[in-house]
Amino acid sequence: MTPEQLQKLWEAGRLVALADSAPSEQQALAAAIGPDGLGHLEESWGPGVVLGSGGSTGGRRWCLQPLAHLQASASATGLWLEGLGVDPASCLHLNSLPLHHVSGLLPWVRAQQWGAGYLRLDPAWMRDPAQLVAAAPLDLARPALLSLVPTQLLRLLAAAETVGWLQQLALIWVGGAPLPPALAERARLAGLRLAPCYGATETAAMVCALAPEAFLAGASGCGVPLEGVELRLGEEQAVEVRCGRLSPGWLEAGRLQPLPLSADGWWRSGDAGRLGLAGLELLGRLDGAIHSGGETVFPELLEQRLAHLAQAAGLTLQALLLLPIDDSEWGQRLVALVRPSSPKQGWEELQLALQQICDSWPPSERPGRWLLCPELEPSELGKWQRNRWRTWVDQLKTVQVVSSASVDVEPV
């Protein structure tokens, strides 16, 4: 479906379900909608969309978002831009993300609401620097906006052509997954006007964003709340959101299950964070946190720290993932999956260097095993399919219980 087709359906008052073309996604969406379709929901909520959520808590869900909520999100983003001295109507909104992803849908909604320009970036362009630069030339007199996930940013920074192209953008929102410190530093050194942000399908995209000037000055995190949004921390440092554009709920077998809210309207996300002077800083997924030796450990935060220290030590990694495995003594211990930047890179030497980096960490944070995984990579949207890689670990034919001081070399 094209954005123009979607717009016509909205104008007709339709509620539209959007999903990836993969059979598994289509089947899951059909089961969530049920045999009676979406007509009964249109009567209550008007035009809008049903989108797959990564599952802030409780796994994959199909969230309903009325068009009015999407438009409220666009309005808040427009006010944020005006606060930076950027006229939203004068911008060109570039979109590199799929329409069935909330961050790929909002560029179209924003462009329509602001009266701004819109250009869809073909996925093939994003993999070919020369083609991207040729197909999407930028006019410095017209501010260009782009939303990326960290994986896309990493790929674009790998080519000189696209670094120059990125440097011409007025603003680059980065979200969907944590921005690794090493990648953030590369972007700063290149002078890229990044605006790390945070949001979810349930919140109709971003609810806070860091100003690019603050990013370039060295600030970390996702910035302060947008207009109409309140943030706080709940139990276990869970990020909680209150605003007027929360999803009414998600679909299960044709029925709308209300979004669980507190008595005073707060929604608890599945992310842990802390609030400081620069705004929200994410610690990791609560459903990804583990308890090791009586300590709460956030693997995502440790992944970022290890990747940053590895780069500082001159070690080049294509991908790194920390996963929990059951341990009779500790409850859970971490296992590290590593994909070197080059197949020719010596694994034994690399793993020893990585282990030495972690030697000074608390025992609960040190990986107990190191596994070579040449095929390790996140999804196209930059998210780690952790269950997939847990299965990969479980299926290894050779499993050796080791101490935190040991190193594994696993056949793959």
More confident residue, 284 or 80: 80
pTM of the predicted model, to two decimals? 0.76
CATH number for the domain spanning 55: value is: 3.40.50.12780
- Inside any domain, residue 202: yes
Same-domain pairing of 297 and 211: no
**Cα(300)–Cα(305) distance, rounded to whole angstroms?**
9
Which of 284, 315, 348 is the C-terminal boundary of a domain? 284
- Inside any domain, residue 409: no
**Cα(172)–Cα(95) distance, rounded to whole angstroms?**
11
Same-domain pairing of 323 and 378: yes
Structural domain of 238 = 3-284
- Inside any domain, residue 360: yes
- Inside any domain, residue 407: no
- Inside any domain, residue 77: yes
Which of 284, 310, 333 is the C-terminal boundary of a domain? 284
Using DSSP's 3-state secondary structure scheme, residue 15 falls into strand
pLDDT score for 96: 92
Asked whether residue 411 carries a pLDDT value surpassing 80, the answer given is no
**Cα(206)–Cα(102) distance, rounded to whole angstroms?**
9
Given a contact cutoff of 8 angstroms between Cβ atoms, the answer to whether 299 and 323 are in contact is yes
Same-domain pairing of 280 and 295: no
Same-domain pairing of 122 and 160: yes
Which of 228, 257, 284 is the C-terminal boundary of a domain? 284
pLDDT score for 294: 64
- Inside any domain, residue 330: yes
Cα–Cα nearest to 321, from 364, 288, 277, 278: 288
Same-domain pairing of 347 and 206: no
φ/ψ region of 305 (left if φ > 0, alpha if ψ in -120 to 50, else beta) reads: alpha
Asked whether residue 291 carries a pLDDT value surpassing 90, the answer given is no
Same-domain pairing of 249 and 211: yes
CATH number for the domain spanning 344: value is: 3.30.300.30
Same-domain pairing of 275 and 295: no
φ/ψ region of 275 (left if φ > 0, alpha if ψ in -120 to 50, else beta) reads: beta
Dihedral of CA 334/281/108/160: which sign? negative
Same-domain pairing of 258 and 303: no
Distance of CA 44 to the CA centre of its chain: 31
Same-domain pairing of 252 and 362: no
**Cα(232)–Cα(310) distance, rounded to whole angstroms?**
33
Asked whether residue 52 carries a pLDDT value surpassing 60, the answer given is yes
Given a contact cutoff of 8 angstroms between Cβ atoms, the answer to whether 117 and 111 are in contact is yes
404 pLDDT band, cuts 50/70/90, is very low
- Inside any domain, residue 412: no
Same-domain pairing of 145 and 228: yes
Cα–Cα nearest to 302, from 180, 387, 210: 180
Given a contact cutoff of 8 angstroms between Cβ atoms, the answer to whether 122 and 97 are in contact is no
Amino acid in position 339 = R
**Cα(260)–Cα(270) distance, rounded to whole angstroms?**
12
Same-domain pairing of 295 and 278: no
Q: Per mean pLDDT, which range of 161-175, 292-306, 391-405 is the poorest?
A: 391-405
Same-domain pairing of 75 and 142: yes
| Count of domains for the chain | 2
- Inside any domain, residue 399: no
pLDDT score for 29: 93
**Cα(395)–Cα(358) distance, rounded to whole angstroms?**
26
pLDDT score for 54: 61
